[in-house]
Structure 1
């Protein structure tokens, strides 16, 4: 194993995104302009506007983008009695009706969402439901997970310690283990630009080569963090390389691969704090935790060799102390291993 120290990782460009926001057009307490100004102060690149069952807040977004430097992704939170679904990335303003759907009718709703050219993902699937938050707890029957593009596995501030998010993270792991390639995202569920908020905020960081966050989510090219940016790539002996969300082709004769783990401490560095410590990166896949790597504080790069026998997918998780709590700080989406 090789561990190196260096400055910021600059070989790839990533975009910091908030994918779950609300304005005065639903139950938010802010205008889109105020939301975008607050996003700029948090050093974000993109926000998705996801008001409940409406896109009425989107007209005029171009002027707000120019004024604030924040790019705004078209979206809405498809809000029903049996679950909330984030709809992201449609080209024009669109609306997907939900009023006639029961717990067994999700396929009908997905058909309408997909007709908009949008991505569909579960929002906070295990948040407490009625009577505290009607429909927040996911009750729809999912017959085909290939129709679901992503799961919001971290919701709210300091999300890793919340039991509801831990259940959502376990659900995502189970879906991956069943052979589906579904992305994981996060969202603050941002209703108010309160300058007094002090808890760590989750940020979805998407690969800039995919043009916008929707394209990156569709390809699984997303990392999620409350602190340093964690990324990884995997390389086979034949010279093929796969990044987050990619597929690494393997042969029966060559199953040993090199995994490159990177930590970027410069990503939004003024917006989070960590005590100096040795961090732990866990490589996790369908076989469980198969490798751990100790990363001295400030170390930016580690290389490990692994045997992929029986491995169909893998992700990296960063664990350490944050807010005086030992927790998961960041994770990547999966790289998939596929026998050629």
Structure 2
């Protein structure tokens, strides 16, 4: 990479800066004939957190948040989280979100280098497919079949540890049929999903976790980039206009609990997140009922790396689909043909028309939408269904399965 020009921004962010405007745009110029743009950010990570991204002259070029301190954008490749392509001439901006700035301030330096030659791309990594466990014996409904998946995961395209291939192999090896890959504030992973999923025998659903300091939401589908800088109502409108589905994420999730105003509430919500470890705690269900009575509950592991949150499929969301494809998954999700269990092989509650099928739930209670309860007898029990959400609970009121 042969440098042509270097631009440096340095200074000290203060708490007042963050409170005034927490997302900053640092300008630099890209001359004609530029083959690559490289950005390096330096600051004391022990003192605060600065999130990093990029706007080209023609619009969004990538985001890596606090996961990286540098990136490269070139015609043939880009750092994960960023979009490869010609470096169009004009005014570009480094995006800096002042995510955590201590009262004493935070010194920083951003060094931008434009070059007339691009560095070689990293060598591609081939990941062999993993052996898959057999599918569960589940009945079809009107010619449709149940598939197991997970609506929340991350890769090296944001703050995850695994490549798309490594994640696909892990999820397929755990018996999942689909996995939504929802990297933060970027769509750079989307081009990899189709061919990688086909190689590993799993549908990798395009997604984006739209991430702000006041809450996160997933947008599912190949909708293009969702501008996290806009109000949450824009995210929902964008999803609907482009054939996608938006779901509020981990609404009671610590410092990223949902606090964004919406002109109308989403129909879908990640009611069962991997941090709901003590499911005797009724907070997520209480939130969901207050959010909207007919909320469509889904589950997400929020997988980042082994040893972190849950593994892919913890919890598992089940969809009743006409076909195993992105379009088929989105149609089932939009229609609310969903169920959630603790894992791919855990106790399960499925709607079969006017009946419910409880699997592996002997000795539990079926809780109906009106609050009434029925005992579950046997490992494969049929029970009457009513409109609305049902759940299975143990004698300790621990939730072990949900069903729309």
Normalising by structure 2, we get a TM-score of 0.58
Q: Secondary structure at the match of 2:332?
A: helix
How far apart, CA to CA, are the structure 1 residues paired with 2:292 and 2:259? 20
Q: Secondary structure at the match of 1:34?
A: helix
Deviation string 1:165-201 (CA, Å, 9 cap, x unpaired) is x433222222443xxx431111000111459978992
Secondary structure of the 1:59 match is helix
Q: Please tell me whether residue 186 in structure 1 is matched to residue 299 in structure 2.
A: yes
Q: 1:173 aligns with which of 289, 305, 318?
A: 289
Query: How many aligned residue pairs are there?
Result: 260
1:162 is displaced (CA, Å) by 7.7
Q: Contact 2:318–2:340 at 8 Å: present in 1 too?
A: yes
Q: 1:282 aligns with which of 345, 348, 367?
A: 367
**Cα deviations by residue, 1:215-268 (Å, 9 ceiling, x for unpaired):** 1111111011112221234xxxxxxxxx4xxxxxxxxxxxxxxx5221234xxx
- Residue 176 and residue 300 in structure 1: after superposition, are their counterparts in 2 closer, same or farther (change >3 A)? same
Find the residue that maps to 2:260 and give its secondary structure.
Answer: coil
Task: Describe the shift of the 1:126–1:157 C-alpha distance in structure 2 as closer, same or farther (beyond 3 A).
Answer: closer
Structure 1 residue 326: Cα displacement = 5.2
Unaligned 5+ runs, structure 1: 1-6, 130-135, 234-242, 244-258, 266-273, 307-312, 334-340
Matches within 5 A, 1:294-333: 294-303=375-384, 313-320=387-394, 327-333=398-404
Residue 49 (structure 1) aligns with: 181
Which residue does the alignment assign to 2:341?
225
2:140 to 2, 8, 11: 11
Structure 1 residue 11: Cα displacement: 3.2
Contact 1:149 1:183 in 2 (8 A): yes
Aligned residue runs from structure 1 range 55-134, under 5 A:
55-90=187-222, 94-99=224-229, 101=230, 105-129=231-255
Task: Report if the CA contact (8 A) 1:281-1:293 is conserved.
Answer: yes
8 Å contact 2:149–2:176 — kept in the other structure?
Answer: yes
The equivalences for 1:138-287 within 5 A come to 138-145=258-265, 148-156=266-274, 159=277, 161=279, 163=281, 166-177=282-293, 181-194=294-307, 201-209=314-322, 212-226=328-342, 227-233=346-352, 243=353, 259-265=354-360, 277-284=362-369
Q: Quick one: higher RCO (CA 8 Å, sep 6+), 1 or 2?
A: 1
Secondary structure of the structure 2 residue equivalent to 1:314: coil
Contact 1:155 1:188 in 2 (8 A): yes
- Cα separation, partners in 2 of 1:331 and 1:51, compared to 1, 3 Å: same
Deviations 1:108-167 (A, max 9, x none): 3322333332211100011111xxxxxx1211112322xx1311001116645285xx43
Question: What's the CA shift for 1:14?
Answer: 0.3
Structure number with larger C-alpha Rg? 2
Unpaired runs of 5+ in structure 2?
1-135
RMSD, matched Cα = 2.8
Normalising by structure 1, we get a TM-score of 0.69
User: C-alpha separation between the residues in 1 aligned to 2:276 and 2:291?
Assistant: 24
Contact 1:52 1:77 in 2 (8 A): yes
SS class of match (1:20): coil
Could you give the per-residue CA deviations for residues 75-94 of structure 1, whole angstroms, max 9, x where no partner exists? Answer: 10001122101000125xx1
